[in-house]
Amino acid sequence: MPAAKPPRRALLIVNPGARRGNAPVEAALDRLRAAGIAVEEARSDSGDASGEAFRAQAEGFDLAIVAGGDGTLCRAAPGILASGLPLGILPTGTANDLARTLRIPPDLDAAARIIAAGHTRRIDVGSVNDHPFFNVASIGLSVELARELSPGLKRRWGRIGYALAAIRVLMRARRFGAWIGEEGDAVVTRTLQIGVGNGVFYGGGTIVAADAAIDDGHRDLYSLEMRRVWKLALMLPVFRAGTHGAWSEVRTARNVAFEIRTRKPRPVNADGELLTRTPARFRVHPAALEVFAPAPASD
């Protein structure tokens, strides 16, 4: 009789600061244990601490699991990448855009089933000034939105909180000057926001570009250059569909690297976290991370 296969060991980080971080995860843990995965849980009050836990404790573990939202994943990304472990996601945040891109459902038991099934795929990771991110890094409106969207507002209102905060931000929005460079070419413009996407979704389901993918080896850039802010309200449906590039007042580009400069240093928001400032250098790191995801239908 062959020897029993030893259980895989998983290091689970739960961020209680995420909107559903205190939701019961016992069903998800039971699902993992039933699949032969021994889970060691370490609670963390911040994504930065989560990343350090993965970096320091990777030895002896076979996979890393994060229970949190996009901000937690972004803050933990340096440690996750340094650990070399495949990543499982239990989405407990507000927007959960990386999980949405990977087709991981918000139900924690269903998400645990995906990890237990063991199918993985490799995805690209973006970086801005060497800070890794998964979804979108941007300059402009999103920074003000991140500041306006307090943890209390997210916990109380969820996705509605995004809309409430966005209304406040748009009421005081102003364009700023920017220099956008790519592969020796450059343009000077005035814009409300510049976004550089790595994944497909951001902001609770808005699409970076109609044909964006998280494993295509390039970045998708857009710049909102309309003079009248109210036009953004008319454009909401096209942003949800990812077809905003068809509008003449939206500049779009696709490349492996971009550089953005502004007259004064401006904060850069990556996956809801303020990580760095301009000048900002954006890069793609193809197939940099292995993640647990649903198997393709053909499988």
pLDDT per residue over 233-249, tens digit each? 666 677 666 667 666 78
Q: Are 210 and 241 in contact (CB under 8 A)?
A: yes
CA dist., res. 119 & res. 145, Å (int):
36
The pLDDT confidence band at residue 186, using thresholds 50, 70 and 90, is: very high
Mean pLDDT of 55-66: 85
- 122 or 296, which is more confident: 122
pTM of the model: 0.86
Residue 203 gets which letter from DSSP?
A: T
Give the torsion sign (CA, 112, 114, 115, 121).
negative
What share of the chain in percent tops pLDDT 90? 51
- Residues β-bridged to residue 289: 123
CA dist., res. 137 & res. 120, Å (int):
25
Mean pLDDT of 84-95: 91
Query: Can you list the domains of the chain with their CATH numbers?
Result: 8-118 (3.40.50.10330), 131-286 (2.60.200.40)
Provide the pLDDT for residue 78: 92
| Strands 136-140 and 193-197, sheet pairing | antiparallel
Q: Are 126 and 275 in contact (CB under 8 A)?
A: no
Mean pLDDT of 19-24: 57
CA dist., res. 139 & res. 119, Å (int):
35
Q: Which two tokens stand for residue 72?
A: 């937690």
In order of 189, 196, 205, 210, 223, the CA distances from 140 in angstroms are 13, 12, 19, 22, 10
Provide the pLDDT for residue 41: 79
Lowest mean pLDDT, pick from 56-65, 79-88, 286-295: 56-65
CA dist., res. 9 & res. 36, Å (int):
9
- 222 or 51, which is more confident: 222
Q: Are 201 and 96 in contact (CB under 8 A)?
A: no
